[in-house]
Each structure stands twice: as structure tokens, then as C-alpha cells.
Structure 1
Amino acid sequence: MNHVEFSKEILILVGGEKNVSNFTHCITRLRFNVKDKSIVKAEDINKIKGVMGSQWQGEQFQVIVGAESDKLYSTLCKIGNFENSAKINTNLDQDLVKRGKWSWKSLGYKALNYLSPMMTSVIPLMVAGSLCKVIAYLLGPDFLKVIAADNGLYVMLNLMYDAFFYFLPVFLGYVAGKVLNYNPIYGIYLGTLIIVPGFINLVGVQNSLVVLGMSFPIISYSNSFLPVLLGGLVCKYILGFLENHIPSSAKALLIPLLTVLIMAPVMLGICAPLGTYIGNYLGNIFMYLSSANSFSRIIGATLITIAWPFIILLGMHGGLSAFAMSMMNDYGYDPFLFNTAYVANVAVFGIALGVALKLKSKENKSLTLNYFFTCILGGVTEPILYGVLIKYKKSILGLISSCAVGGFLCGIFVPKLYVYTSTSVLGIWACWMNQEDPRNTVIGNTILLITFIVSVAVTYLVKDNEDA
């Protein structure tokens, strides 16, 4: 692909530099906010070699280009004199939902717009911390016995894991401020407020803290995520109200002071207990599904596995990962949601290899293999979903059939996901590891392998008119 020529052609067809009010990108798409939608020539853009498709999301025009998005974005920024900013970490943007009449649908989209960037922002560190725990387990006294429990390396690896999960509310508080466009230092404060040692030391000692006649429950909120998400939303409106009603001369002093005085009881008395209750309730739903009668469990696991790739296409996977994290925090493992998601990702990897094996065109074969290796090494599925599934439409038969097989097996054997790892080939095998349940590792990885084989085989055997 000639990035310069490609970028020039795209820019002309979206109406030129003057028609673009904002330009961003994500892992697979170039995203244009335009002034005049009528002059964007979407059909002509779709005909450009290298474009996998395009779509409107609200007022934003998205051009799907797969793994080339980073390079094309940089080239377009130079050609169009656009500001070059970091790629966004979600398939949902705040401008995708128009402001207008309230509806449950718009509320759901806005919730996902908030949850998705929150969770996708912390997932890289979450995966890194989890892999440190896996390395400690593999080398430690419970497995290979290379290092003892008091060895400095073993201690350090466990500290690297704890540093993320214990202080998760602090990380989420920072991201909440960034996502909601207020000073993230306030979000950090909300996170520290519920895990400060003086509060944590009261857990198990007394049931509540009484302040001026108000009773605040004493619960451990380390590793939690919903309390800060709820508190972050409240904080946004508190800050906005204070900004609009306090004289400029007193803002520097009164806004921080009043925010702290208001948010402390709101967090400890409302957001933190409510967030914990909601998280437990949602976690119990998935726990129920994992332990339900065989028929319900198998049907549920199969349907979720089949749906997961399409949930990614809709950009909803970031928000759902929050509920999986809730189960990990409460029970120490995820018995249902993310184990099916990992199986579905492996099915997506398989369709790329299956398509590549049957393609006759060297150019198309090379491009599809590029998607395959990019995804299995990077642990992402979007390039395959947009670059392979949409282009070679019959590959959906391989995807659905392998997801059904993998989900069916998850419903029968119910493997538990103990560690969040990357879904790349380098880390996905370790997600099932637990020294007290070695059988779980074998079951989980066997299901992954069977799912991948079925995906490759079915995709390869299905005849496609576009396998040239």
C-alpha cells in the first residue's frame, strides 16, 4: 500500500481538509468528524484498495483499514495538517450518541461510552500484572520449584501483580477524570479515599463508621471498580456545579475543598456500597449460569461464545469486561464470561488461517496471513473481523460453528479463568492456571485447541466465491 497516495485519495473523498472538523483513529479505523456529511463519498471510498469498509456512527464517519491504521493516520495528519494525537482505546466515542430525547437505548450507549474506555485503558496493565503472577507460579515452589517463596524474584513478581489489583480504584479514578473531561487528580482522590490504610484497617474491626450521626459501612474496596466509576460520574457534576456558582476569586480555594467535603460522604456512604452491591449482583448472575442445570449452562455458554465476536464489532466488549472483573474480585476466578470470550477470540484467529490457506491470489493470501499473525501475536481480533470476516462473508460459517463447539464444551466442563492474560498465543494458554486445580489448565487449553482446529477446518472447507 502506498500510504501517501491512499491518504490523498481518502482525504479528497471525505470532502477535503476543510470539511474535517476532527480526525482521530483507533486500532482498525480512521475516524472523521465532518462538517458536511452530504459531500462524503462513502461508496467511492469503499472501492479503494485497502479499505475494508466504512460506516457512519452518529456524526462520525469511520473508514475501516485494519492493521494499517497507525501509519495511515500519521500520513493523513501530515497531508491534511491535522493534529496528531494518540489513538483512542475504544470502539465507542462520546460523540456517537446524539444529545436529544432521552431513551433507554441512548442511556445504554452512554453507559458503554463510559465503561469501555475505562476498562480498555487499564486492561494492558491488568494483563501485565497477571502475567507476572503466572511467571511467579511457574518458577515458584508450587510448580517448577526453581525459586523459593522467600526468593527476592518471587516476592517481586507478586508485588508487581498486587501493585495493579490492590490499587485498581486509583487507576480507574484517574481514567474516569480523563474520560469525563475533568482534572483526573480528583478521580485519583476518589480511588485513594476508599483504600486509604486508616479505612482499610477498620475492616473486620467494626461494621460501620459513624460521623455526625451518619453511618458509613466498613467494607474492603481494594480491587473494586464500580465504586469509583459511580463516584467519578457524581464528581463530574459536582465540579461543574461548583465551577458555575463560585466566584472566580474564590475558585482556587473553594472548589477543591467543597469537592472533597461533598465527595467523601457520597463515596463512602453511597457510591462505594452501591457499586459493591451492583457488582455482587451481576457477578451472582454469571455464577448462577455457571452452576445452573446442564441444559441452561450449555445453552448460555454457547450463545455468549457465538455472540462475542459480534459484541466486539459493536464495541460493547470493553463494558462487559468490567463485569468479568467483578467476578474475579469476588470469587477469585471467572467461571463463565471471559472464558467464553477467550474461546471466541481463538475462533476468530482460526478463520483468518482457514481463509489464507484456500486463497489463490498471492496478494490476498499475504494480506490475510498478515492479519492472522498480527492478531495472534498482538491478542486483538478487530483486523480479522473487519479485514477477513466482512470481506469473505462465508467465513462466518467457520466462526459460528467453532464458537458453538467451543461454547458447548465450556458449558459442559466449565473451565475457570483464574488469570487475565493477553489473548495472544504467547499468553492465552496461561489464563486457566491454578496450582490447586491443574485439571482446569488441561481442560481450558484443550477447548482452545479444539475450537481453533474446527474454525480453520470449517472455514477452509466452505466454498467462497471470493477465494481468488
Structure 2
Amino acid sequence: MNAKMINQIVDAVGGADNICSVVHCSTRLRFSLRDEKKADDAKAQSIPGVLSLVKKGGQYQLVIGNDVDLVYDALIQKYPQLQKDQAPKQAVPAKKKGIVNAILGAITGSIAPVVPLLAGCGMGKVLLLVLVMSGLLTKASSSYILLNMIFDTGFYFMPAFIGFSAAKMFGCNAFMGGFIGLAMVHPTWTGLVAKGAPIDFLGVPVLLAKYSSTLIPVLLSVWIMSYIEKGVKKIVPGMVKVFLEPMLIALISVPLALVCIGPLGNLLSQAIADGSMFIYGTLGAVALAILAALYPWLVSVGLHKALSPISIMLVAQQGFDPVIRVVALCSNMSQAAAALAVAWKTKNKALKSLAFSSSMTAYLGGITEPAMYGVNLKLKRPMYGCMIGSGIAALFAGFVKLKAFIYVTPGLLSMAMWIGEDENFILQALITLVIASIATFIATIMIGFEDPEENKEEQA
């Protein structure tokens, strides 16, 4: 990775000392800055290799594209201190960022690092299902049992992964965050839940709730733990803090999580999932079409990540997601088709090459940021084509009751996500893909766009 690019990025965000932490998702570097005013937006957007800048959820996000992991690795290699657990207490206070931004930043920052693991385990479970359907494996075989255990691990222990990641976001001990998540899925706890017999803690009744494959309970628990940790650190003498601090934090945080916070988070999770299904059941295809038409703009500002917990919860609780992943499929394919239309119509050779390659990336892997920020959003009008095509495709998807059975980014390479143990929606998903592509392509060609002139100096 070009060292010059790393230097330019660090300089644009205000220097290494201005960075509290940095993580990355599938296409973006996500910075938490101490003072966002020190960052130079124009300089950041002018860096070769940076497709766009998004400031959302308290994060300073540079859209890189498919090579974001290489950029991140090079950044950490040069500035290893950025990968250490650092409390963002020196950052701009959350109240200045806004409550909504602070909440969205905490949710997306906690979930984004875990999403690749969930997607990989989800695709593994689908692969296992295909092997059984093809007769290559049987559910009674030891090979199936071991493989199923491997891919179940990602979902069963999801609270531990989320707890570890959330602790970094809230500026507390990451291992204690993971500890809380593990306590919520401990065999003793799951055994008590399975028995269903009433229990209490020091005379206080405890609601028996299943926390495996959940997000919100552990997020809330680690958030509260971050304040408990600060309080404990103030009162524990230095000579005994190595064992007394973690003991007190665990003694306070875990019972609080199991008695109060966890049940509250579980009810909130269920309410969100039930609310999503109610809206879907009431408005159906119309609701999908409206959300799909808006989804390209949600992606452009990073708000689509706030919908990820809903999708994950639906898959965990219902066994399928008929809303968020379906809308993502329609939107992703419309972005790909709009970029393909631009590649077809433009006379600019550089734009044609970029549009075609980014279109293929979106079609195959569902990674739309290169197509969106590099082509469609820059030209503006193709985004309207995306809205039209995505909305039309969602109407069909809602009509045929399309369902996704795992949480993964929709694309041609992840079509297995539409296969369940008892249902198969691959054909409906392929038709939805074709509708989104054709409708968007035609709409983009008809709406048109201002074709940029060839830069002769760059061409030379």
C-alpha cells in the first residue's frame, strides 16, 4: 500500500494525535476523532483512492472501496498505537455530536467489526444446508455435527463478540465487555432458561431470557459497565487494582445485566422485531418499495448501518428477514445497473472503465460504495434511476414474499442466502435482481446525466 496515501489520510484527519480510534467495515475507514474541526474535508476528499467522505454517527468515514482492509493494515503498521484500546474521552463530547449521532455511532461502531464474522458463519450454514440437500452429508453424520457447531459459534456467542467490540466504542476494557457477553450465554444460565423454573438474585426476581444471537442486551450492558468501570477505578487503590478492579466490575455489572438491563434489552429487541414485522404485514410491498427507493440515500450517508441490527434480530428471532436484506438486494442491484448504464452511455474513457468495474463489484459482491461514490452520486442523476429501479423491484419482492435466511450482503456470489431449510427463494431473488437491473438501466438512460469531459492531462 502506498505510504504517501497513508500520510495524506493521517494529515487530512488532523494528524495521528487527533485520532482516538479507527476501524473499518467492508469499504470505509471509520475514524473517531478527538476534534473533528481539525480535519480538512477538502483535503480528505482530494486524496487519490478516497472515493468520498461521510460524517455520520460521530464518525469521520473515508470511503475507500474494496481495498479498505489493505489501507487499514498499512495505517496500523505505520501507527500501531491506533489499534490499542483507547478511551475516546478526549474526543469531542457526545452531546456536541448530538444524541442521535452518538447512538448511531455506538451501534454501527460496535456491529461493523463483527458483521464479516456473522456473514461468513451464515454462508457456512447455507453451504452445509446445500451439502445436505445434495446428499453429500447427512444430519446424523459427525462431520455435519462438527461443521454445524463451527458455524453456529458465530451466532451463539454473538453477545461476546459484540461486547468486546462495544467496549472499545465506549472506551472501557474490551475483555470485560467480552466477559459480560459470555456470562449472558454461560451454560449455567442457558440451563436455567431451559428449565424455566423461577429464580431470584438476593430476593429480586430474575426474568429468564435467552441472550444467544442477541445484540441490544449486551450493548446496553456494556454501556452501563463503562460507567461502572470509571467509578471503580476512582476508588480502588493502585496496589490492588490488578485483581480488585475486574472483580468489582464483574460483581456489579453481570448481576445488573442479568437482572435489569438484559431483560429490558430483550424486550426492546422483541419490540423492534415485532414492529418491523407488523409494518411489513400491514403495508407489505408498498412499505418495501418506499424503503427501497430511499435506501440508496441512506447508504450514501451511512444510515443503512443502523438497520443492520433489525436484520440480524429478524434472522435470529424469526429465522428469516423479509425486509432489510430484501431492500438491500433491490438497492445493491440498482446501484450496479445505474453504473452499468453510465459505462454504456459515457464517452469519457476513464469514467467508462470505473463505472464498468464498480458495476461488476456491486453485482458480484453487493459492495456498492465504489459504484455509488465513484459514479452515481458524483453524477447525481443516476441516483434517481436507482430509486426508480429499486422501488419497482421491491414491489415484486414484496408480492412474492421474498425472504433472506442469513445476514450477508446481497449479491450474485451470495445467492445462497435465499435458501432456507424448508423454503427456497433463489428464483424469486434472481427475478428481483433482473427487474432492478432492467428498470434502473432504462431509467438511468432516459434520465441521462452530464457526461464529464475527458481530462487530457490525466490521459496523457
The normalised TM-score by structure 2 is 0.84
Query: Aligned to 2:347, what secondary structure does the other structure show?
Result: coil
- Asked if 1:442 corresponds to 2:427, the answer is yes
- Letter of the 1:234 counterpart: I
Gap change, CA 1:446 and 1:153, over 3 Å in 2: farther
Structure 1 residue 124 displacement after superposition? 0.8
1:432 counterpart residue number? 418
Contact 1:28–1:69 (8 Å) recurs in 2 = yes
For 2:117 and 2:54, the matched residues in 1 are separated by 31
Corresponding pairs, count: 449
Query: Aligned to 2:200, what secondary structure does the other structure show?
Result: strand
1:124 counterpart residue number? 116
Structure 1 residue 33 displacement after superposition? 5.9
Alignment map for 1:24-423 (pairs within 5 Å): 26=24, 27-28=27-28, 40=40, 42=42, 52=51, 54=53, 66=65, 98-99=92-93, 106-140=98-132, 143-292=133-282, 296-423=283-410
Query: Aligned to 2:344, what secondary structure does the other structure show?
Result: helix
Gap change, CA 1:452 and 1:156, over 3 Å in 2: farther
- Letter of the 2:439 counterpart: V
For 1:362 and 1:148, the matched residues in 2 are separated by 53
Contact 2:325–2:404 (8 Å) recurs in 1 = yes
Structure 1 residue 41 displacement after superposition? 8.1
For 1:206 and 1:236, the matched residues in 2 are separated by 31
- Asked if 1:458 corresponds to 2:443, the answer is yes
Contact 1:136–1:157 (8 Å) recurs in 2 = yes
Query: Aligned to 1:203, what secondary structure does the other structure show?
Result: helix
Query: Aligned to 2:408, what secondary structure does the other structure show?
Result: coil
- Letter of the 2:108 counterpart: S
Gap change, CA 1:223 and 1:65, over 3 Å in 2: closer
Contact 1:298–1:412 (8 Å) recurs in 2 = yes
For 2:9 and 2:209, the matched residues in 1 are separated by 54
Query: Aligned to 1:210, what secondary structure does the other structure show?
Result: strand
Query: Aligned to 2:98, what secondary structure does the other structure show?
Result: helix
Structure 1 residue 217 displacement after superposition? 1.5
- Letter of the 1:286 counterpart: S
Contact 1:30–1:62 (8 Å) recurs in 2 = yes
Gap change, CA 1:57 and 1:421, over 3 Å in 2: closer
For 2:89 and 2:443, the matched residues in 1 are separated by 39
Query: Aligned to 2:242, what secondary structure does the other structure show?
Result: helix
Contact 1:133–1:161 (8 Å) recurs in 2 = yes
Structure 1, unmatched stretches of 5+, are 87-92
Structure 1 residue 268 displacement after superposition? 0.9
Contact 2:57–2:105 (8 Å) recurs in 1 = no
Gap change, CA 1:366 and 1:289, over 3 Å in 2: same
For 2:422 and 2:447, the matched residues in 1 are separated by 42
- Letter of the 2:319 counterpart: G
Structure 1 residue 364 displacement after superposition? 1.7
Contact 1:20–1:32 (8 Å) recurs in 2 = no
Deviations 1:69-124 (A, max 9, x none): 6667788999xx766857xxxxxx9799943757xx81111111111022211111
2:458 counterpart residue number? none
Structure 1 residue 344 displacement after superposition? 1.3
Deviation larger for 331-340 or 56-65: 56-65
Query: Aligned to 1:327, what secondary structure does the other structure show?
Result: helix
Contact 1:358–1:460 (8 Å) recurs in 2 = yes
Contact 1:3–1:71 (8 Å) recurs in 2 = no
For 1:144 and 1:443, the matched residues in 2 are separated by 21
Structure 1 residue 132 displacement after superposition? 1.2
Contact 1:28–1:383 (8 Å) recurs in 2 = no
Gap change, CA 1:281 and 1:85, over 3 Å in 2: same
- Letter of the 2:294 counterpart: A
Structure 1 residue 128 displacement after superposition? 0.9
Gap change, CA 1:409 and 1:255, over 3 Å in 2: same
Contact 2:33–2:91 (8 Å) recurs in 1 = no
Query: Aligned to 2:205, what secondary structure does the other structure show?
Result: strand
Structure 1 residue 400 displacement after superposition? 0.8
Structure 1 residue 146 displacement after superposition? 2.5
Structure 1 residue 372 displacement after superposition? 2.3
Percent of matched pairs sharing the same residue = 23
